[in-house]
Amino acid sequence: MNMRDMILPVVRDMPSSGIRKFFDLVNEVKDAISLSIGEPDFLTPWHIREAAIYSLEKGRTRYSPNAGLLELRKEVSCYVKRKYGLEYDPEKEIIITVGGSEAIDIALRSLVGPGDEVIIPEPSFVAYKPCTVFTGATPVTVELKVEHDFRLQPEQLLEAITDRTKVLILPYPNNPTGAVMFEEDLRKIADVLKDRDIVVISDEIYAELTYGKRHVSIANFPEMKEKTLVINGFSKAFSMTGWRLGYACGHPSLIEAMYKVHQYAIMCSPTTSQHAAIEALKNGDDHVDAMVREYNRRRRVMVDGFRRAGLDCFEPLGAFYVFPCIRTTGMSSEEFCERLLMEEKVAVVPGNAFGKCGEGFVRACYAASMENIIEAMKRIQNFTIKHSKELV
Amino acid sequence: MEEILEILEKNSRISDEEIALMLNMDADEVRSIREKLEKENIILAYNTIINWEKTKKETVTALIEVKVTPQRGQGFDKVAERIYKFPEVKSCYLMSGDFDLTVIVEGKSMKEVALFVAQKLAPLESVLSTSTHFVLKKYKAEGTIFEEKEQDDREAVIL
Ligand SMILES: Cc1ncc(COP(=O)(O)O)c(C=O)c1O
């Protein structure tokens, strides 16, 4: 038997990453300053780790209820109310998942299949498209534009909608652009959707990381609440990436469907992580606030650094990414990243890793120490000065 | 203003220009706020935390619990001042509970510290008693952990 031939074609033909070559290169250059890691550099706050240790000492080592510990669902319910003004019943409208990642997957699996279309704004997180394709549904991409500050425009949405459209993925605050959608932007999207049978999967994993205005969810509009699945998690807000814990809040019928997929595929989310998460939601606010202040300082330093390097850089107001345009250098995104890595030992990610329309941009992440950011920005300035001389 | 203090508390060597960049302010504005904070004795000093154990210099630290009689009209402040003016004293706090002052003393050797207690501190008129505890190992001071820095063990690229 040739095992390769046994693999389902949609899986076999799915590239493991659009930028494999660049990945391999970054792994080779060991001493580079890395602005290519979409993960907090902070460790999980100690009080949260300590709560997990305590739960282990107490012997809380068994399966939890499939939907997650009720105490945690209750805390999630309080938290999303307190933070975002969203009300969900912990018994019927909240499910605890293995990261926001699992929530995205089981939501799509519960909603779409062959013949359905899923609208995915790009550039965006790399999982939406493959998860859609694996269900047999068709991804329909909408190209976000820097001149719109990478916000989804109602006209773009209208143009993408067909009678097969079943889901819109709304990825804000956005990875990789750092864009956010304000209330007035969401209002226009809500107006397009209010009389249509389209479910919004709102990936709000970076909701805590906004700079300036507080995060608003499309579920805040009463006519959108029923149609929206809010996905969030602990990875970014509480620096808990390795704990693999997230959650989804939405209509009881959708949560029930996701519950079934989750129950049979996963059984339940890690119990230790759930105990840690209860502590995070109860007592984590001060840490989160301090962390957001620090990210904001780094964000300003990085945006200023790219602008000094002569690159157009739109002001990102969320997540922990900066997404400058590198077209003035005359290089492609991958060429820019490879040469920056080899010549100046700074790693950033080619924008086209997040969709074709990311070409001409790079993603730099400021979840890195301030010293490293300051040093990296100096090197990037050297780099652009050197290459702008070549151009003329 | 509070955020300037937050930044400086973590890294006192950072320049006004860098702070300005982080906070979206003007460097001159940061400088004048910082100078005002210094004048008002809110910023007292820009110290460095050193792990002397890794150097050749020998140092010994002791924490001394001191009971004193407060002085009429001046409470504990005058007694404390008599004590904290000695350069050997690194920190001095008024405490609630069983004793009155915590005095942290640094010296080259245990003998030197012992002599300081016996000859300078204990004989003071208002000092009733002292109890000296020597520090064996420093794990953390001023919010800084002494062991080796954490390695960044994240994957090279995460999308
Ligand atoms: C936009 C977005 N959504 C979801 C995730 C997945 O996060 P989790 O760790 O909760 O699975 C990420 C992680 O990078 C992300 O950037």
ipTM of the complex: 0.84
Residues whose CB is less than 8 angstroms from the CB of residue A255 and which lie 6 or more positions away in sequence, other chains included: A92, A93, A94, A95, A248, A249
Of A225, A259, A284, which marks where a domain is finished? A284
- When pLDDT is averaged across residues A311-339 and rounded to a whole number, the result is 96
Q: Give a yes or no: residue A119 inside a domain.
A: yes
Which residue in chain B is spatially nearest to A368 when comparing CA positions? B152
Residue B53 has pLDDT above 70, yes or no: yes
Q: Which domain holds residue B105?
A: 53-136
Taking each helix axis from N to C terminus, what angle separates A99-111 and A128-135, rounded to the nearest 10 degrees? 30
Q: Within this chain, do residues A72 and A107 fall inside the same structural domain, yes or no?
A: yes
Q: Within this chain, do residues B66 and B115 fall inside the same structural domain, yes or no?
A: yes
Residue A109 has pLDDT above 90, yes or no: yes
DSSP A30-92: TT-EE--B-S-SSPPPHHHHHHHHHHHHTT--SPPPTT--HHHHHHHHHHHHHHH-----TTT
Please name every residue paired with B65 in a beta bridge, in sequence order, or none if there are none: B102, B131
Q: Give a yes or no: residue A228 inside a domain.
A: yes
- Of A44, A101, A209, best ligand 1 pocket probe by most atoms within 8 Å of the beta carbon: A101
Which residue in chain B is spatially nearest to A32 when comparing CA positions? B156
- When pLDDT is averaged across residues A315-326 and rounded to a whole number, the result is 98
- Check which CATH number belongs to the domain holding A65 and give it: 3.40.640.10
Q: Give a yes or no: residue B25 inside a domain.
A: yes
Task: Tell me the per-residue pLDDT of A231-262, one tens digit each, with 9 for 90 and over.
Answer: 999 999 999 999 999 999 999 999 999 999 99
CA angle A89, A95, A96 (to 5 degrees): 130
Instruction: Tell me how close the Cα of B124 comes to any Cα of chain A, in angstroms.
Output: 44
- When pLDDT is averaged across residues B109-132 and rounded to a whole number, the result is 95
Task: Tell me the per-residue pLDDT of A366-389, one tens digit each, with 9 for 90 and over.
Answer: 999 999 999 999 999 999 999 987
Cis peptide before A316 (omega within 30 of 0): no
DSSP A120-135: EEES--TTHHHHHHHH
- When pLDDT is averaged across residues A160-167 and rounded to a whole number, the result is 98
Q: Within this chain, do residues B34 and B58 fall inside the same structural domain, yes or no?
A: no
Q: Within this chain, do residues B76 and B33 fall inside the same structural domain, yes or no?
A: no
Which residue in chain A is spatially nearest to B154 when comparing CA positions? A37
Q: Within this chain, do residues A121 and A268 fall inside the same structural domain, yes or no?
A: yes
Q: Within this chain, do residues B61 and B127 fall inside the same structural domain, yes or no?
A: yes
Q: Within this chain, do residues B19 and B86 fall inside the same structural domain, yes or no?
A: no
CB-CB neighbors (< 8 A) of B24 in chain A: 300
Instruction: State how far the Cα of A296 lies from the Cα of A171, in Å rounded to an integer.
Output: 20
Of A262, A284, A306, which marks where a domain is finished? A284
Q: Within this chain, do residues A36 and A52 fall inside the same structural domain, yes or no?
A: no
Distance A331 CA to ligand 1 centre (A): 29
Judge contact between A325 and A307, C-beta under 8 A.
no
Instruction: State how far the Cα of A262 lies from the Cα of A239, in Å rounded to an integer.
Output: 24
Q: Within this chain, do residues A127 and A185 fall inside the same structural domain, yes or no?
A: yes
A19 — pLDDT class (breaks 50, 70, 90): confident
Q: Give a yes or no: residue A314 inside a domain.
A: yes
CA of A103, closest atom in ligand 1: 11
Q: Which two tokens stand for residue B111?
A: 């003998």
Residues whose CB is less than 8 angstroms from the CB of residue B74 and which lie 6 or more positions away in sequence, other chains included: none
Tell me how many domains chain B contains. Answer: 2
Phi, psi of A121, deg, nearest 5: -70, 140
pLDDT of residue A392: 60
Q: Within this chain, do residues A128 and A155 fall inside the same structural domain, yes or no?
A: yes
Task: Tell me the per-residue pLDDT of A35-81, one tens digit each, with 9 for 90 and over.
Answer: 999 999 999 999 999 999 999 999 999 999 999 999 999 999 999 99
Q: Give a yes or no: residue A392 inside a domain.
A: no
- Check which CATH number belongs to the domain holding A333 and give it: 3.90.1150.10
Interface A–B counts its CB contacts (< 8 A) at: 54
- Residue A171, ligand 1, Cβ within 6 A: yes
Q: Give a yes or no: residue B118 inside a domain.
A: yes
pLDDT of residue A73: 98
Cross-chain Cβ contact B156/A37 below 8 Å? yes
- When pLDDT is averaged across residues A197-210 and rounded to a whole number, the result is 98
- Residue A323, ligand 1, Cβ within 6 A: no
Q: Give a yes or no: residue B141 inside a domain.
A: no
Cross-chain Cβ contact B154/A34 below 8 Å? yes
pLDDT of residue B143: 87
Residue B144 has pLDDT above 80, yes or no: yes
Cross-chain Cβ contact A36/B158 below 8 Å? yes
Cross-chain Cβ contact B157/A298 below 8 Å? no
Q: Within this chain, do residues B25 and B95 fall inside the same structural domain, yes or no?
A: no
Residue B126 has pLDDT above 70, yes or no: yes
Cross-chain Cβ contact B152/A41 below 8 Å? yes
- Check which CATH number belongs to the domain holding B72 and give it: 3.30.70.920
Q: Which domain holds residue A13?
A: 3-44+286-386
Tell me how many domains chain A contains. Answer: 2
Q: Within this chain, do residues A254 and A277 fall inside the same structural domain, yes or no?
A: yes
CB-CB neighbors (< 8 A) of B3 in chain A: 293
Q: How much is the pTM?
A: 0.93
Of A36, A43, A301, the CB nearest to B157: A36
Distance A101 CA to ligand 1 centre (A): 6
Name the average pLDDT for chain B.
93
Instruction: State how far the Cα of A259 lies from the Cα of A163, in Å rounded to an integer.
Output: 28
Cross-chain Cβ contact A37/B23 below 8 Å? no
- Residue A125, ligand 1, Cβ within 6 A: yes
Of A236, A265, A284, which marks where a domain is finished? A284
